[in-house]
């Protein structure tokens, strides 16, 4: 009898979990539908609804939580599964190198003029042939000034022995190793093995300072007071500052790890025109405004920023100064042998 | 005539077998054998410059696994799993004994206390622990409130916290087989033991323990093995400071983007599991009691 009850419970649990992830597909809108594949917690639902109403195109949204997720899905799903994707800088570089993106029809991007030119023509897509920027961010430093006396201005300061056991850093080896490289005046994409040996030495001195590796919600440890200094994404700092006024944002003097996420259309998309219309709408001031209100990442859309008002524009964490971006560096795709060295360093740090 | 006979045989013997065992076999092959073979094959594959898996045979993935740093994480992972198992035995045994020996309705209540937490996803429960143990969490507020701790005590993000989380998640898998084993215990043997002058301690050591050892073995196996792979516990409660083999595998499939290396790591985990099950069988363990 007990076994029966137990198995009933199990079956119930499994039956429930089957429905997880089944979105309503429903019927297509009167002007067709598009399949959009974007980061989780990144694109405002109200912006998507507004687009559906305006265009009559139904939008099916699915989400991923890392570029690797996105690339793996593009590899495993048949061509034409997605019409719009939102890869970061280095993922764009990778997709372009493999000829996996459709060129964008610039004539249809009437809202492109809203985008600050400082964010166009980036190294991963010169001339913006395949992509246009959406939002971005910086791996910057958050300091709880009530708990930390030392003045922190750079990545190098994070290695200071006085910060023992106080740091939360991103659980992301390109970010943490890249930060170490920047603190030594090197590029985040070093490939020379002798240089990397000295980077490893420096990296291991960080071990005692790190209390927590967390990429999902590093702000929580800062808000709760478990950690007093963080090397985390700028939008996370912005949200932490809203909760705890003692927290301040510091952009490292060495120049930060920056990222930009970009709208793109994968090769073989079934509804190219619908996808172009969607991307153009996302570049509009009203859509960008809805997006940054929900997810305060760096916004290259100047028209939207003008509408957001002074409080937003003067908030250094939400509206990242453009010189932070120009002095920063993107992560780029490394060859497999170099990435293996990075992976080994990270394993040493975490053992 | 002969043809007729084989047709009859097919109907009488083969067809029922196909109908009854066939679907199960197909499911087993499709959902267990094929993925396992896929993982095994992938572990010998290479990756190209774009990190795509290519079918060039290589042993390099296994060579990389012999790296000292990986070995240290295996060792750390095994220590965490061992400590977790021992704590689960020490806590789980008395609890199972009490459930098994309780008569009346209370037994059902005790039994349900073990089962009910399963109704909530373990990820959510582990996040609950994080909130509970944090610097401004309930436990610290309580300790500060009754004046025991002036400064918040740092419970989180240590190896001990990972072990706590593992014990919490896995202890039902220790209690349930132990309960089955203890309930089977014939109480007349205990009476005989005390009639023959044995003290409670020696009754426990020489009668109860040997007779319930199968429960301890199967419980240990079911705690130890998942412990090597529960990467989310070490991520959330250990703060990434006490990685287990599961973390290594997860990383290769995510940011490392090296699926063949991840596959090789998985194969190692499977081999460790098989060795443990073999040892269990050698020690006289009963495979049925692994199925709770």
Cβ contacts of A232 on chain B, cutoff 8 Å: none
Listed in sequence order, the residues at least 6 apart from A254 whose beta carbon sits closer than 8 Å to its beta carbon are A154, A155, A156, A182, A183, A185
- Asked if A347 and B248 come within 8 Å (Cβ–Cβ), the reply is yes
pTM: 0.84
Identify from A218, A345, A350 which residue to disrupt to test chain B contact, counting B C-beta atoms within 10 A and taking the largest count: A350
Three-class secondary structure of residue A170 per DSSP: coil
CATH superfamily placement of domain A12-134+260-319 = Periplasmic binding protein-like II (3.40.190.10)
CB-closest option in A173, A225, A347 to B135: A225
Cβ contacts of A346 on chain B, cutoff 8 Å: 251
Whether A122 has a pLDDT exceeding 60, the answer reads yes
**Cα(A319)–Cα(A137) distance, integer angstroms:** 10
- Asked if A340 and B240 come within 8 Å (Cβ–Cβ), the reply is no
Closest chain B residue to A68, measured at CA: B254
Distance (Å) from the alpha carbon of B240 to chain A's nearest alpha carbon: 5
CB-closest option in A68, A172, A348 to B69: A348
- Lowest-pLDDT range of A250-259, A270-279, B98-107: B98-107
The mean predicted confidence, pLDDT, of chain A is: 90
| A12-134+260-319 and A137-258+325-350 have identical folds | yes
Per-residue pLDDT at A175: 94
93-132 in chain B: CB under 8 A from chain A: 111, 115, 118-119
Phi-psi region of A247 (alpha: psi -120 to 50; beta: other; left: phi over 0): beta
CB pairs under 8 A between A and B: 88
Q: Does A105 touch chain B (CB under 8 A)?
A: no
CB burial readout A296-309, b (16+ within 10 A) else e: bbbbbbbbbbeebe
Q: Does A340 touch chain B (CB under 8 A)?
A: yes
Per-residue pLDDT at B4: 62
DSSP string, A43-71: S-HHHHHHHHHHH--EEEEEEESSHHHHH
- Asked if A347 and B156 come within 8 Å (Cβ–Cβ), the reply is no
Q: Give the rounded percent of residues in chain A with a pLDDT score beyond 70.
A: 92
Which residue's entry shows tokens 């509970």? B132
Closest chain B residue to A214, measured at CA: B239
Q: Does A94 touch chain B (CB under 8 A)?
A: yes
Q: Does A98 touch chain B (CB under 8 A)?
A: yes
Per-residue pLDDT at B156: 92
Domain residues of chain B, as ranges?
69-290
Per-residue pLDDT at A76: 84
Cβ contacts of A351 on chain B, cutoff 8 Å: 69, 72-73, 76, 243
Second-level CATH architecture of A137-258+325-350: 3-Layer(aba) Sandwich (3.40)
pLDDT-based confidence at A161, cuts 50/70/90? very high
Whether B6 has a pLDDT exceeding 90, the answer reads no
Per-residue pLDDT at A206: 96
Of residues A266 and B3, more confidently modeled = A266
Distance (Å) from the alpha carbon of A26 to chain B's nearest alpha carbon: 29
Q: Does A7 touch chain B (CB under 8 A)?
A: no
Q: Are A81 and A111 in contact (CB under 8 A)?
A: no
Whether B282 has a pLDDT exceeding 90, the answer reads no
Of residues A45 and B280, more confidently modeled = A45
Whether A12 has a pLDDT exceeding 70, the answer reads no
**Cα(B281)–Cα(B292) distance, integer angstroms:** 16
Mean pLDDT over B165-186 rounds to: 93
- Asked if B47 and A336 come within 8 Å (Cβ–Cβ), the reply is yes
- Lowest-pLDDT range of A32-41, A70-79, B75-84, B170-179: A70-79
Whether A108 has a pLDDT exceeding 80, the answer reads yes
Per-residue pLDDT at A31: 81
Per the DSSP assignment, residues forming a β-bridge with A263 are A132
Identify from A73, A171, A224 which residue to disrupt to test chain B contact, counting B C-beta atoms within 10 A and taking the largest count: A224
- Asked if B50 and A69 come within 8 Å (Cβ–Cβ), the reply is no
- Asked if B115 and A6 come within 8 Å (Cβ–Cβ), the reply is yes
- Asked if B157 and A336 come within 8 Å (Cβ–Cβ), the reply is no
Distance (Å) from the alpha carbon of B69 to chain A's nearest alpha carbon: 6
By the 10 Å C-beta count (0-12 exposed, 13-18 middle, 19+ buried), A268 is classed as middle
Mean pLDDT over B159-171 rounds to: 95
Instruction: Give the pairing type, strands A33-39 and A84-85.
Output: parallel
Q: What is the pLDDT of residues A179-208, one digit of tens each?
A: 999 999 999 999 999 999 999 999 999 999
How far is CA A319 from each of CA A237, A292, A301, A322, rounded to the nearest angstrom?
12, 10, 11, 9
Q: Does B154 touch chain A (CB under 8 A)?
A: yes
Q: Give the rounded percent of residues in chain B with a pLDDT score beyond 90.
A: 58
- Asked if A66 and B64 come within 8 Å (Cβ–Cβ), the reply is no
Cβ contacts of A167 on chain B, cutoff 8 Å: none
By the 10 Å C-beta count (0-12 exposed, 13-18 middle, 19+ buried), A240 is classed as buried
Identify from B42, B47, B50, B79 which residue to disrupt to test chain A contact, counting A C-beta atoms within 10 A and taking the largest count: B50
Q: Are A221 and A110 in contact (CB under 8 A)?
A: no
The mean predicted confidence, pLDDT, of chain B is: 89
Distance (Å) from the alpha carbon of B272 to chain A's nearest alpha carbon: 20
Per-residue pLDDT at B277: 87
Q: What is the pLDDT of residues B125-150, one digit of tens each?
A: 999 999 999 988 999 999 999 988 88
Whether A86 has a pLDDT exceeding 60, the answer reads yes
Per-residue pLDDT at B49: 86
- Asked if A13 and B235 come within 8 Å (Cβ–Cβ), the reply is no
Q: Which of A42, A51, A87 is nearest to A69 (CA)?
A: A87
Cβ contacts of A210 on chain B, cutoff 8 Å: 241
Per-residue pLDDT at B194: 87
Please give the structure tokens belonging to residue B230. Answer: 């529960």
Whether A13 has a pLDDT exceeding 70, the answer reads no
Closest chain A residue to B108, measured at CA: A2
Q: Are B259 and B42 in contact (CB under 8 A)?
A: yes
**Cα(B272)–Cα(B171) distance, integer angstroms:** 21
Whether A230 has a pLDDT exceeding 80, the answer reads yes
Q: Does A164 touch chain B (CB under 8 A)?
A: no
CB-closest option in A172, A213, A348 to B239: A213
- Asked if A224 and B111 come within 8 Å (Cβ–Cβ), the reply is no
Q: Are A271 and A83 in contact (CB under 8 A)?
A: yes
Domain residues of chain A, as ranges?
12-134+260-319, 137-258+325-350
Per-residue pLDDT at B290: 67
Per-residue pLDDT at A19: 44
pLDDT-based confidence at A27, cuts 50/70/90? low
Distance (Å) from the alpha carbon of A225 to chain B's nearest alpha carbon: 6
Per-residue pLDDT at B3: 61
Mean pLDDT over A75-85 rounds to: 92
Q: Does B70 touch chain A (CB under 8 A)?
A: yes
Whether B292 has a pLDDT exceeding 50, the answer reads no
Q: Does A286 touch chain B (CB under 8 A)?
A: no
Q: What is the pLDDT of residues B190-248, one digit of tens each?
A: 889 889 988 889 988 988 998 898 899 999 999 999 999 999 999 999 998 888 999 99
**Cα(A191)–Cα(B195) distance, integer angstroms:** 77
Whether A1 has a pLDDT exceeding 50, the answer reads no
Distance (Å) from the alpha carbon of B251 to chain A's nearest alpha carbon: 9
pLDDT-based confidence at B151, cuts 50/70/90? confident
Closest chain A residue to B156, measured at CA: A226
Per-residue pLDDT at B5: 63
Second-level CATH architecture of B69-290: Orthogonal Bundle (1.10)
Q: Does A350 touch chain B (CB under 8 A)?
A: yes
């Amino acid at each position: 009898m007990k076994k029966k009850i137990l198995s009933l419970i199990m079956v119930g649990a499994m039956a429930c979990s089957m429905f997880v992830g089944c979105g309503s597909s429903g019927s297509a809108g009167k002007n067709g539908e598009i399949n959009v594949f974007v980061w989780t917690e990144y694109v405002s639902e109200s912006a998507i609804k507004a687009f559906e109403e305006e265009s009559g195109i139904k939008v099916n949204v699915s989400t991923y939580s890392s570029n690797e997720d996105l690339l793996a899905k593009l590899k495993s799903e048949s061509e034409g599964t997605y019409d719009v994707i939102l890869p970061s800088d280095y993922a764009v570089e990778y997709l372009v190198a493999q000829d996996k993106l459709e060129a964008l029809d610039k004539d249809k991007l009437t809202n492109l003029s809203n985008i600050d030119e400082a964010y166009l023509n980036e190294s991963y897509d010169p001339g913006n042939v395949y992509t246009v920027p959406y939002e971005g961010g910086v791996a910057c430093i958050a300091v709880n000034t009530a708990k930390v006396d030392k003045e922190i201005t750079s990545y190098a300061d994070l290695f200071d022995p006085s910060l023992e056991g106080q740091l939360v850093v991103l659980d992301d080896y390109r970010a943490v190793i890249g930060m170490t490289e920047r603190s030594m005046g090197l590029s985040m994409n070093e490939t020379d093995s002798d240089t990397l040996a000295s980077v490893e030495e420096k990296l291991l001195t960080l071990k005692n300072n790190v209390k927590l590796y967390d990429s999902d919600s590093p702000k929580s440890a800062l808000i709760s007071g478990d950690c007093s200094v963080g090397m985390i994404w700028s939008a996370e700092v912005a949200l932490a500052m809203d909760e705890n006024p003692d927290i301040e944002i510091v952009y490292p003097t060495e120049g930060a790890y920056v990222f930009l996420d970009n709208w793109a259309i994968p090769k073989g998309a079934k509804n190219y025109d619908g996808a172009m219309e969607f991307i153009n709408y996302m570049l509009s001031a009203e859509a960008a405004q809805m997006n940054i209100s929900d997810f305060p990442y760096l916004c290259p859309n100047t028209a939207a920023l003008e509408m957001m008002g002074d409080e937003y524009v003067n908030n250094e964490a939400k509206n990242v100064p453009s010189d932070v971006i120009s002095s920063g560096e993107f992560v780029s795709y490394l060859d497999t042998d170099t990435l293996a060295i990075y992976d080994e360093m990270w394993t040493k740090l975490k053992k | 005539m002969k043809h007729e006979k084989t047709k009859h045989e097919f109907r009488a013997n083969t067809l029922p077998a196909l109908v009854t065992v066939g679907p199960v076999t197909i499911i087993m092959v499709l959902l267990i054998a094929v993925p396992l073979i896929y993982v095994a094959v992938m572990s010998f594959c290479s990756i190209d410059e774009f990190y795509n898996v290519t079918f060039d045979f290589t042993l390099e993935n296994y060579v990389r696994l012999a790296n000292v740093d990986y070995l240290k994480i295996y060792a750390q992972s095994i220590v965490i799993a061992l400590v977790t198992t021992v704590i689960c035995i020490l806590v789980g045994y008395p609890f199972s004994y009490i459930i098994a020996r309780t008569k009346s309705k209370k037994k059902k209540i005790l039994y349900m206390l073990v089962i009910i937490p399963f109704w909530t996803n373990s990820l959510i429960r582990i996040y609950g622990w994080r909130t509970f143990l944090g610097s401004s969490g309930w436990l610290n507020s309580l300790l500060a409130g009754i004046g025991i701790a002036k400064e918040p005590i740092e419970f989180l993000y240590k190896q001990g916290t990972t072990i706590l989380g593992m014990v919490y998640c896995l202890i039902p898998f220790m209690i349930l087989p132990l309960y089955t084993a203890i309930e089977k215990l014939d109480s007349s043997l205990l009476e005989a033991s005390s009639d023959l002058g044995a003290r409670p301690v020696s009754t426990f050591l020489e009668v109860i323990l040997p007779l319930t050892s199968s429960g301890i073995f199967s419980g240990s196996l079911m705690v130890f093995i998942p412990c090597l792979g529960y990467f989310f516990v070490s991520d959330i409660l250990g703060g990434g400071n006490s990685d287990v083999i599961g973390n290594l595998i997860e990383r290769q499939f995510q940011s490392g983007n090296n699926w063949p290396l991840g596959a090789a790591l998985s194969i190692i985990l499977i081999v460790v599991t098989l060795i443990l099950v073999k040892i269990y069988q050698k020690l006289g363990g009963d495979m049925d009691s692994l199925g709770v």
